Structure 1
Amino acid sequence: MRGILLERLHAIPAARRMLEDAGYGERCTYRAGDFSDVPPGGDVYILSRVLHDWDDERCREVLRHCSRAMPAHADLLIVERVLPGDGSASLATAWDLHMMCNVGGRERRADHYARLLDDAQLTLVGRSPLPLDGSVLHARREVSPV
């Protein structure tokens, strides 16, 4: 497996060191850029703890850039804490407050992510739990009927 790490220029040296120290450096291509520079043609795209930093409109923009870059067969994996739909206690609730107060972002419920994805012509097709109330949300491009 090989990958492209899209990151801001100032973060690439640290990312390169970490991946090389872990033995994966030669399997990664490093590309300086932002969300408008999403490389096309990948099989899997990963946004890990990215969307919670932003308001809904910026999330839609990020997701649209991903959607445009993704071939029809590609998957988008989104790693975030997801607020429980039933209002039960969750670590995500504390993070929601933290994100709103410090960066203007927020944690969201799965149905909220589904709406943001839909606005970018992506469909939420699954969700898998992670430790510490995290989740991997699995999305795919909507395919127009022939």
Structure 2
Amino acid sequence: MTSCPRLDLLDLINGFQVTQAIHVASALRVADHLSGGARSAGELAALTKSHPDSLYRLLRALAAVGVFLEEEGRRFRLTPMGDCLRTDSVTPLGAWAEVVGSPYFWQTWGHLLHSVQTGENAFQNLNGKNVWQFRAEHPEYGATFDRAMTQLSRGSAEAAIRAYDFSSFRHIIDVGGGQGLMLAEILLAHRDMRGTLFDQPDVVAGAKAILMERGVIERCNVVGGSFFETVPEGADAYLMRVVIHDWEDDEAIAILKVCRRAMRESAKLLLIERLVAPPNEMPATKFSDLNMLVSPGGRERTREEFSELFGKSGFELTLVFPAGVHNVIEARPR
């Protein structure tokens, strides 16, 4: 079928509608209610305490884009895509759908024009505080964000373990490691390794359940603190997954310098980050960069920009290993 530029652009313009529809379906846990098989829109309305006709209209729209499958009699079942919205999915994305459709996130993107015209962080301008302070003051949003980061870590961990050989390390510290899923997966793959999980105290408070569930709690220390002040010393490797992209260069350099002070000369720094591709390629990373602009206030970077960042913080970039949508970027002290 011949592409129509006008209609293709219209699909892009109206993409916000799909985002919000998926957000609502995830918030109502529709996928969980369909995990045992097909149900009617009426049954789902009762289970989700929703208006029957309105819920049907939501579900048929999402079925038209492949999230659900509509059958006769207004019955719906999960598709492989919709299965990712289940809370117990092995490839979960539901919490991220809830984050991006939540009012604070949604309103921030509505101020993209301000950021583009001024270079200022939209969230800070809109709320008078940064997104980290906001989530700390609104634990319901913070909990959903932490759950989303844990879910997103699953695929990232598997790809990183396939791409990079962690076997030479005896002790690895996951700096800004959230609730510990990434570190747990690495420890599961390397039974002789010890780990330390380091993040804000309120974040790592939820980590022990995940580490116990994965059976690695006996090999893992959990430490709370700020990576702007100090990180634990003495590990063979210091890992940060999608941490540095949350910060502009001055803050990123400050974080990396704290890590450098804690590291032995033989240790390695491992960043799991996206890399900005050449022009006209990989839109996901470039739109993630816009998200950094409006929300946390950071940026996605090219390989060259990471190399410059390392040079200003006491490191030298050594190797880059593609790992799915991310890369394992290895650096060493210099």
Same fold judged by TM-score > 0.5? yes
Superposition RMSD on alpha carbons, in Å? 0.9
1:130 maps onto 2:323 in alignment? yes
Which amino acid is 1:108 matched to?
Answer: R
User: How does the TM-score come out when normalised to structure 2?
Assistant: 0.41
Cα offset, 1:96, TM superposition: 0.4
In 2, the alpha carbon distance for the partners of 1:52 and 1:9 equals 21
| Deviations, residues 113-145 of structure 1 (Å, cap 9, x unaligned) | 11111001100000000112x111000001xxx
SS in 2 for 1:108: coil
Counterpart position of 1:72 = 265
Q: Which runs of 4+ in 1 moved over 3 A?
A: none
Return the letter of the residue paired with 1:2.
Answer: R
2:195 pairs with 1:3: yes
SS at match of 2:274: strand
Q: TM-score, length-normalised on structure 1?
A: 0.92
**2:206 is matched by which residue type in structure 1?**
A
Deviation, 1:13, is: 2.4
Q: 2:226 is matched with which residue: 34, 46, 57?
A: 34
- Given residue 64 of structure 1, which amino acid in structure 2 is its aligned partner? K
- For 1:1-146, what aligned pairs fall within 5 Å after superposition? 1-35=193-227, 36-84=229-277, 86-90=278-282, 91-132=284-325, 134-142=326-334
Aligned residues: 140
Question: Aligned equivalents of 1:94 and 1:25: distance in 2?
Answer: 37
Cα offset, 1:80, TM superposition: 0.6
Secondary structure at the residue paired with 1:82?
coil
Q: Aligned equivalents of 1:49 and 1:16: distance in 2?
A: 21
Higher fraction of helix: 2
Per the TM alignment, residue 78 of structure 1 is displaced from its structure 2 partner at its CA by: 0.2
1: distance between equivalents of 2:242 and 2:207? 16
Most deviating of 33-42 and 119-128: 33-42
Partner secondary structure for residue 128 of structure 1 = strand
Q: Deviations over 1:36-94 (max 9, x none)?
A: 2211111000011100111100000000011111101000000011101x224212111
Gaps of 5+ in 2: 1-192
Structure index of larger Rg: 2
Structure 1 gaps, min length 5: none
Identical amino acids, percent of aligned pairs: 33
